[in-house]
Amino acid sequence: MSERQVSGPAAGNNKTSGGQDASKTNLPEDFDIDMDNPETEKAAVAIQSQFRKFQKKKRDEKS
């Protein structure tokens, strides 16, 4: 799964010439989502489905 990255003053990201520091992530340290819960899987499938529909609609509008 990819991680959404936000830039700008609200995100508090300071770009350095050495790249992104591994200790600076957008996820909290107490990440507590139960990945084995069937409800979590159902939610992920629903989100992915809606996103794919959005991408298809966006792609079809360009054509």
Residues in the chain: 63
Nearest Cα to 40, choosing from 8, 14, 12, 1?
A: 1
Q: For residue range 3-62, what is the model confidence (pLDDT) as tens digits?
A: 555 555 555 555 554 555 555 667 667 778 899 999 999 999 999 999 999 999 999 998
Q: For residue range 43-56, what is the model confidence (pLDDT) as tens digits?
A: 999 999 999 999 99
DSSP-assigned letters across all residues of 7-56: -STTTT----TT---TT--SS-TT----TT-HHHHHHHHHHHHHHHHHHH
- pTM exceeds 0.75: no
